[in-house]
Amino acid sequence: MATAVRQRPAALILTPTAHARIAALMARAPEGAIGVKLSTPKRGCSGLAYSVDYVTEAKPFDERIDTPGGTLFVDGGSILYLIGSTMDWVEDDFTAGFVFQNPNAKGACGCGESFTV
């Protein structure tokens, strides 16, 4: 009897505007970049912040999410803080950036720069 393998759902949900932004970033990526990486370094007054950077190599425990415009890697040490989150790209008259709806976040600082789990 053959074992059925089902596709694992992505740990992070990307909106269409997030997909488009990743495609735009990869269209002007520096030479050698294989994708962009989302991580949650310790920063800010609440403890953790979201950071998106170009990467040139995949680390063994990074989560890989293939999008139509390029690859998004999620830092292996950050994945537990991000499971079930939605990543969106929002632009208005004053700001532009990735915005996260994170069900794991228990609080955030007043300026919105960092969060706690």
Tokens of 49: 């912040």
Calculate mean pLDDT across residues 61-84.
Answer: 89
- Render pLDDT for 17-41 as a digit per residue (tens, 0 to 9): 999 999 999 999 999 999 999 998 8
Calculate mean pLDDT across residues 43-63.
Answer: 84
Q: Quick check: helix, strand or coil at residue 50?
A: coil
Q: What is the structure's pLDDT at 109?
A: 59
pLDDT at 15 over 80: yes
Calculate mean pLDDT across residues 44-57.
Answer: 83
pTM passes above 0.85: no
Distance set, CA 56 to CA 31, 37, 93, 107 (Å): 9, 10, 33, 33
